[in-house]
């Protein structure tokens, strides 16, 4: 693996770290398996690209707008679940499917190239360092900032209310917490992070694409599972860090698998490798006090 | 003051499983009264508690609290004035949060939650003082996750949490039933002390007639969705479990089939 490849993998790893944080918020904190991300990841990309290219927006504002669009998507999924009692998974699928069409509309086509326009990465051009070195550092910083914000939030009054709403809804309600509203904001927030990741991803690769959301849910989940099964995750800080490490490790695993010509793998096998990795992590977690104890010491649970 | 007026609750209405859980309940609990509620399985005692908490939908009738009609209020809205201790120790506390975080959560029941850090030094000191009274050494374990505590400890914590902040009504849903006898006595004694000190209006559902008579100042008995017996003052003071059973037989003209009422 060359340095260029290494930094590129780190770059995508950090971007998917944001997706992993979102997955942690929905799956682990809110106990709300959310499939909206398959649509909100390309939504963030599409909104951002369309605003930059078609309307000539500032790339930072456009990226922020992408995140806001993601929040709206997540909020809508949670609304279908909370208000109309549609099963959370189904609500997510409905949103993801409808977002596919919405994204085509936003981009007026299946993709939107970002060639020859300024992106957030161009802001660092003046430092005299090559983009491929600057951008992983920038993305790492973005991911860590989001991680810090998530950590602080989950320790505020509303944050612990959200944690209780996911962990013990009956108790949360008895303590005056509007559990439905917590889901609306929590799932919204998670999708805002995912859409932010999508917007950044599009700017790295120079295009937004209607198909770029395929498998995002698996990547997010895999990162959470790989991270929290390898690293201690007893506190929120540990768990969120584990998610980001998981995302980076996961990208490396995929990159290695794809570079492994001796295994006879091709680029088109990426989804299969992805799914197999997640299955392996899950199996390890299930069968695996031995596997876990090896990394986590005598830590139980 | 709690006022239930002609409350009817039916589960699974219009299906073969239709159950009339409450059939016209009229009950007034004046402010500061500690009421104990007894009855056999399916008598409607837990349902009436759920009606107060907002968990059971009322088919007809009204629920008023301190003069306010709360019949259609959702659970989380009522929580500002009604607090609750569940039967299952696991239900009343959140095991993924620390003891301190659970108290911060309970603090937010009556105070705005906000986007500041939930736990402040001041709150930590106050909480340590409060749990110290329990004599369980929990004041040194405030940052332990609640999941590490025993059932009795969790129930004691639930009780303290439910009495955090100004509330007018405390609901106790067989909150000692899942505990061993010694722990149950401890939790019950703590309950009496707290309710007495804070002068709360309290409703305690129990399975044990002895407990119902020895706790609080008034006892009502439910049977098949109706209140069949209501005793307080001198009438109640001179009453034994046998008297209660006898009375039950007289009113109903049938043997009490549920053995669990005799025990304890």
- Check residue A165 and give its pLDDT: 96
Q: Which residues of B touch A156 (CB under 8 A)?
A: 113-118
How far is residue A82's CA from residue A298's CA, in Å, rounded to a whole number? 40
Q: Could you tell me the end-to-end alpha-carbon distance of chain B, in angstroms, rounded to an integer?
A: 30
| pLDDT value of residue A178 | 96
ipTM: 0.87
Which one of B118, B119, B169 makes the best mutation probe of the A interface by having the most chain A beta carbons within 10 Å? B118
A143 versus B20: the higher-pLDDT residue is: A143
Closest to A13 (Cα-Cα) out of A204, A207, A212, A265: A204
Question: How high is the pLDDT of residue B256?
Answer: 52
pLDDT given at position A239:
95
Q: Report the candidate in A212, A149, A112, A127 with the shortest Cα–Cα distance to residue A18.
A: A149
Pick out chain A residues at pLDDT < 50: 290, 294, 296-301
- For B84, name the nearest residue in chain A, comparing CA atoms only: A174
Chain A positions touching B80 (Cβ under 8 A) are 176
**Cβ contacts of residue B193 below 8 Å, gap of 6+?**
none
Q: Where are the domains of chain B?
A: 2-93+151-261
| Residues composing chain A | 301
| B117's tokens | 């850090």
pLDDT digits (tens, 9 = 90+) for B248-261: 776 665 545 555 55
Chain A residues in contact with B95 by the CB 8 A cut-off are: 167-168
Please tell me the predicted confidence (pLDDT) of residue B251: 64
Alpha-carbon torsion angle B249, B250, B251, B252, nearest 10: 40
B104/A contact by beta carbon, under 8 A: yes
Provide the residue count of chain B. Answer: 264
Cα radius of gyration rounded to whole Å, chain B: 19
Per-residue pLDDT, A188: 98
Q: What is the pLDDT of residue A300?
A: 41
Looking at chain A, the number of H-run helices and the number of E-run strands are: 12, 2
Q: Are A188 and A75 in contact (CB under 8 A)?
A: yes
Phi-psi domain of B32 (left: phi exceeds 0; alpha: psi -120 through 50; beta: other): left
* Residues 6 or more apart whose Cβ sits within 8 Å of residue A99: A36, A38, A39, A40, A42, A43, A73, A213
Average pLDDT over residues B208-229: 89
What is the reported pLDDT for A287? 66
Nearest-angstrom CA–CA distance, B84 and A203: 52
Q: Which candidate from B76, B118, B161 shows the least CB-CB separation from A160?
A: B118
pLDDT (tens digit, 9 = 90+) per residue, B156-198? 999 999 999 887 899 999 999 888 889 899 999 999 999 999 9
Q: CB of A227 within 8 A of CB of A244?
A: yes
Tell me chain A's radius of gyration from C-alpha atoms. Answer: 19
Q: Is B145 a residue whose pLDDT tops 50? A: yes
Q: What is the pLDDT of residue B264?
A: 46
Whether the per-residue pLDDT at B244 is higher than 60: the answer is yes
What CA–CA distance (Å, rounded) separates B35 from B220? Answer: 8
Q: Does B154 contact A at CB distance below 8 Å?
A: no
Q: Which residue has the higher pLDDT, A136 or B243?
A: A136
Closest CB from B79, B112, B116 relative to A174: B79
**Per-residue pLDDT at B28 exceeds 70:** yes
Q: Which of B105, B106, B148, B175 best tests the A interface by mutation, with the highest count of A CBs <10 A?
A: B105
The two tokens of residue A123 are 């802001």
Residue appearing with tokens 């959370």: A88
A167-178 burial, b at 16+ Cβ within 10 Å, e below that, comes to: bbbbbbbbbbbb
A293: Cα separation from own chain's centroid: 28
Domain ranges for chain A: 3-296
- Vertex B65, ends B221 and A171: CA angle to 5°? 80
Contact between A168 and B110 using a beta-carbon 8 Å cutoff: no
Q: In sequence order, which residues have a C-beta less than 8 Å from that of residue B91 and are 6 or more positions away?
A: A168, A170, A171
Instruction: Give the residue ranges of DSSP H helices in A206-269.
Output: 216-230, 236-259
Tokens standing for residue A5:
């490849």
Closest CA to B174 of B20, B22, B46, B67: B46
The Cα–Cα gap between B144 and B98 comes to 5
Domain range A3-296, CATH architecture: Orthogonal Bundle (1.10)
Q: Residue A135 corresponds to which tokens in the numbers above?
A: 């951008």
Other C-beta atoms closer than 10 Å to the C-beta of A51 total: 22
Question: Hunting for tokens 């995002």 — which residue is that?
Answer: A216
User: With 90 as the cut, is the pLDDT of residue B41 above it?
Assistant: no
A195 backbone dihedrals φ, ψ, rounded to 5°: -65, -35
Query: Cβ of B25: how many Cβ atoms within 10 Å?
Result: 24
What is the per-residue pLDDT for B258?
Answer: 55
Locate tokens 């309307």: which residue? A55
Angle, helix B99-110 to helix A157-167, in steps of 10 degrees = 110
CATH topology of domain B2-93+151-261: Rossmann fold (3.40.50)
CB within 8 Å of B202: residues ≥ 6 apart: B33, B34, B35, B169, B170, B171, B172, B191, B195, B216
Burial class (CB in 10 A: 0-12, 13-18, 19+), A144: middle
Q: How far apart are CA B172 and CA B177, in angstroms?
A: 11
């Amino acid at each position: 693996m060359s340095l260029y490849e290494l930094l590129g993998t780190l770059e995508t790893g950090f971007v998917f770290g944001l997706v992993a944080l979102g997955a942690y918020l929905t799956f682990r904190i809110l106990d709300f398996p959310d499939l909206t991300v398959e649509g909100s990841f390309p939504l963030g990309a599409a909104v951002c690209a369309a605003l930059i290219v078609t309307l000539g927006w500032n790339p930072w504002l456009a990226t922020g707008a992408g995140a806001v669009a993601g929040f709206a998507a997540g909020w809508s999924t949670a609304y279908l679940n909370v208000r109309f009692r549609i099963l959370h998974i189904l609500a997510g699928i409905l949103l993801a499917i409808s977002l596919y069409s919405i994204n085509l509309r936003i981009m007026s086509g299946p993709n939107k190239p970002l060639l020859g326009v300024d992106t957030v990465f161009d802001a660092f051009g003046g430092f005299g360092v090559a983009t491929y070195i600057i951008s992983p550092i920038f993305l790492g910083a973005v991911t860590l900032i989001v991680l810090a914000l998530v950590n602080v939030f989950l320790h505020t009054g509303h944050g612990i209310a959200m944690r209780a709403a996911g962990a013990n809804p009956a108790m949360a309600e008895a303590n005056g917490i509007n559990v439905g509203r917590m889901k609306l904001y929590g799932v919204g927030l998670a999708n805002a992070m995912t859409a932010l990741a999508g917007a950044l991803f599009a700017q790295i690769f120079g295009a937004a694409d209607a198909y770029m959301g395929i498998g995002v849910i698996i990547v997010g989940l895999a990162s959470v599972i790989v991270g929290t099964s390898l690293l201690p995750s007893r506190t929120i800080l540990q768990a969120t860090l584990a998610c980001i490490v998981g995302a980076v490790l996961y990208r490396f695993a995929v990159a290695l698998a794809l570079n492994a010509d001796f295994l006879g793998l091709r680029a088109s096998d990426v989804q299969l490798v992805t799914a197999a990795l997640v299955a392996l992590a899950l199996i390890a977690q299930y069968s695996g006090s031995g596997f876990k104890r090896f990394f986590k010491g005598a830590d139980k649970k | 003051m709690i006022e239930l007026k002609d409350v009817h609750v039916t589960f699974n209405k219009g299906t073969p499983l239709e159950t009339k859980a409450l059939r016209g309940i009229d009950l007034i609990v004046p402010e500061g009264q500690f009421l104990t509620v007894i009855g056999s399985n399916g008598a409607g005692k837990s349902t009436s508690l759920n009606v107060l908490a907002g968990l059971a939908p009322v088919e007809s009738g009204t629920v008023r609290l301190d003069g306010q009609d709360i019949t259609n209020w959702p659970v989380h809205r009522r929580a500002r004035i009604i607090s609750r201790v569940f039967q299952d120790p696991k239900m009343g506390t959140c095991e993924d949060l620390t003891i301190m975080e659970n108290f911060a959560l309970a603090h937010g029941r009556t105070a705005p939650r906000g986007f500041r850090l939930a736990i402040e030094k001041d709150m930590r000191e106050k909480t340590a003082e409060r749990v110290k009274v329990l004599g369980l050494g929990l004041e040194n374990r405030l940052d332990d996750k609640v999941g590490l505590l025993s059932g009795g400890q969790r129930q004691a914590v639930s009780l303290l949490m439910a009495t955090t902040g100004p509330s007018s009504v405390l609901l106790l849903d067989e909150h000692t039933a899942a505990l061993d006898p010694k722990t149950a006595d401890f939790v019950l004694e703590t309950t009496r002390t707290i309710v007495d000190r804070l002068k709360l209006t309290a409703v305690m559902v129990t399975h044990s007639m002895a407990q119902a008579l020895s706790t609080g100042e008034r006892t009502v008995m439910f049977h098949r969705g109706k209140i069949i017996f209501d005793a307080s003052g001198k009438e109640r003071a001179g009453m034994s479990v046998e008297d209660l059973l006898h009375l039950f037989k007289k009113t109903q003209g049938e043997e009490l089939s549920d053995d669990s009422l005799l025990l304890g």
